[in-house]
């Protein structure tokens, strides 16, 4: 394994506001990592520190085992940030060519255009005449211009319509196939779940969960078996089972919270409790996300 990003107890303070709080993480070559979290969690600040555009107040951030400001690092990374500022008086094509000229081995121009979905007529447009979605595509093209090994996207799909969004993620998946390391932020859980193989969940400047979408989901989502309330069912006995984490009654239904729904069902049938209207609820990742970011003790 080759460590591409190493962050050790990095803290970033803006006056007395702590945006990133003793954050540590390590990212290996070829990983696709989603930094997920609500607004203000410190996602962008962390990206800016990895890009060397912000200095940590304390702690250490290294990219390819070097200071992010090193030229050797800059040549191997590309970024699409939340705020795109480009030279407004140039056309899209001119800006792309300019960016390509900064790199020793830029991406082939035609390939770049094909990957980012920029259209012929858009290439002739001046940057200040672009729509929000077109600006995003240009930003994407500029991130890829140097054919970098490591890519950062900060909330890349904001302002994109559904088609553009799908195209963007398809391209990201193709880049992943080429072995690129990709780090992106989002507050859309679905995007993290669909595209990333690892999620770093941020909350108040800290990583509160780190794992595959599947692992995070399994660890955090609650599942339940529910049935119509019935005076013959011994709620206390069910509550005392090791596989059951909670039992409560809601809208005339008994809800049995558990991680092992099959075992709870087996118990109910074995005891011949004659329960009716059985429903199984599988935990949802968006609920887990809400739970996590509301309540840190949940982890
Ligand atoms: N330049 C800045 N000056 C002061 N406070 C900032 C600055 N940048 C970010 N912050 C604050 O730091 C916190 C984290 O911000 P940010 O990293 O942008 O979060 P996210 O990208 O997760 O929404 C927020 O409370 C934000 O207001
Ligand atoms: Mg942000």
- Domains of the chain with CATH codes: 3-218 (3.40.50.300), 222-282 (3.30.70.260)
pLDDT of amino acid 117: 85
Counting Cβ atoms within 10 Å, is residue 203 exposed (0-12), middle (13-18) or buried (19+)? buried
Q: Where are the alpha helices (DSSP H) in the chain?
A: 43-50, 71-74, 92-101, 109-116, 120-123, 132-144, 162-177, 189-195, 213-220, 235-239, 261-270, 285-294
| Cβ of residue 156 lying under 6 Å from some atom of ligand 1 | no
**Which ligand 1 atom is nearest residue 202's CA?**
22
**Which ligand 1 atom is nearest residue 47's CA?**
17
Could you list the pLDDT tens digit for every one of the 299 residues in the chain? 899 999 999 999 999 999 999 999 999 999 999 999 888 999 999 999 999 999 999 999 999 999 999 999 999 999 998 876 667 788 999 999 998 998 889 999 999 998 888 888 899 999 888 888 888 889 999 999 999 999 999 999 887 888 888 999 999 999 999 999 999 998 877 888 889 999 999 989 999 889 998 887 766 677 899 999 988 889 999 999 999 988 999 899 999 988 889 999 999 999 888 899 999 987 666 666 666 666 544 34
Q: Pick from 12, 15, 17 the residue to mutate for probing ligand 1's pocket: most ligand atoms within 8 Å of its CB.
A: 17
DSSP letter, residue 107 = P
| CA 292 to centroid of ligand 1, rounded, Å | 20
What is the SS3 assignment for 101? helix
Q: Residue 179 is encoded by which pair of tokens? A: 């072995």
Q: Which ligand is nearest to the CA of 154?
A: 2
| CA 201 to centroid of ligand 1, rounded, Å | 16
Handedness of CA 125, 130, 134, 140 (dihedral sign): positive
| Cβ of residue 39 lying under 6 Å from some atom of ligand 1 | yes
Token pair 């919270």 is found at 257
| Cβ of residue 112 lying under 6 Å from some atom of ligand 1 | no
Residues 6+ apart with CB under 8 A from 163: none
Measured distance CA(17)–CA(289) in Å, rounded: 24
pLDDT of amino acid 299: 40
| Cβ of residue 41 lying under 6 Å from some atom of ligand 1 | yes
Query: What residue owns the CA closest to ligand 1's atom 2?
Result: 14
Query: CA distances (Å), 235 to each of 67, 188, 225, 278, in order?
Result: 60, 38, 13, 15
Counting Cβ atoms within 10 Å, is residue 90 exposed (0-12), middle (13-18) or buried (19+)? middle
Q: Pick from 40, 41, 83 the residue to mutate for probing ligand 1's pocket: most ligand atoms within 8 Å of its CB.
A: 40
Query: What residue owns the CA closest to ligand 1's atom 1?
Result: 14
Q: Where are the alpha helices (DSSP H) in 75-117?
A: 92-101, 109-116
Q: Residue 231 is encoded by which pair of tokens? A: 């005076």
Measured distance CA(122)–CA(129) in Å, rounded: 10
pLDDT of amino acid 288: 63
pLDDT of amino acid 160: 82
Q: Phi and psi at residue 38, in whole multiples of 5°?
A: -70, 170
């Amino acid at each position: 394994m080759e460590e591409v990003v190493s962050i050790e107890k990095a803290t970033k303070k803006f006056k007395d506001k702590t945006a990133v709080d003793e954050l540590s993480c390590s990212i290996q070559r070829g990983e696709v990592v989603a930094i997920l979290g609500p607004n203000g969690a410190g996602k962008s600040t962390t990206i800016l520190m990895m890009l060397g555009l912000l200095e940590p107040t304390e702690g250490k951030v290294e990219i390819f085992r070097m200071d992010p400001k090193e030229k050797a690092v800059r040549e191997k990374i590309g970024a699409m940030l939340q705020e795109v500022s480009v030279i407004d008086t140039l056309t899209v094509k001119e800006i792309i060519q300019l960016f390509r000229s900064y790199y020793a081995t830029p991406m082939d121009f035609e390939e770049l255009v094909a990957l980012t979905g920029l259209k012929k007529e858009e290439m002739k447009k001046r940057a200040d005449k672009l729509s929000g979605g077109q600006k995003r595509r240009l930003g994407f093209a500029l991130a890829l211009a140097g054919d970098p090994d490591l890519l950062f996207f900060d909330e890349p799909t904001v302002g994109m319509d559904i088609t553009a969004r799908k195209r963007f993620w398809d391209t990201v998946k193709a880049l992943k196939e080429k072995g690129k390391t990709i780090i992106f932020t989002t507050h859309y859980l679905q995007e993290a779940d669909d595209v990333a193989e690892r999620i770093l969940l941020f909350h108040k400047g800290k990583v509160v969960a780190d794992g595959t979408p599947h692992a995070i989901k399994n660890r955090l989502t609650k599942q339940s078996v529910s049935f119509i309330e019935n005076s013959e069912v011994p709620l206390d006995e069910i509550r005392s089972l090791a596989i059951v984490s909670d039992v409560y009654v809601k809208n005339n239904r008994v809800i049995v919270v558990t991680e092992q729904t099959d075992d709870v069902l087996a118990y109910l049938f074995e005891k011949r409790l004659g329960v009716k209207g059985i429903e199984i609820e599988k935990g949802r990742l968006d609920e887990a996300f809400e739970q996590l970011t509301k309540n840190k003790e949940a982890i």
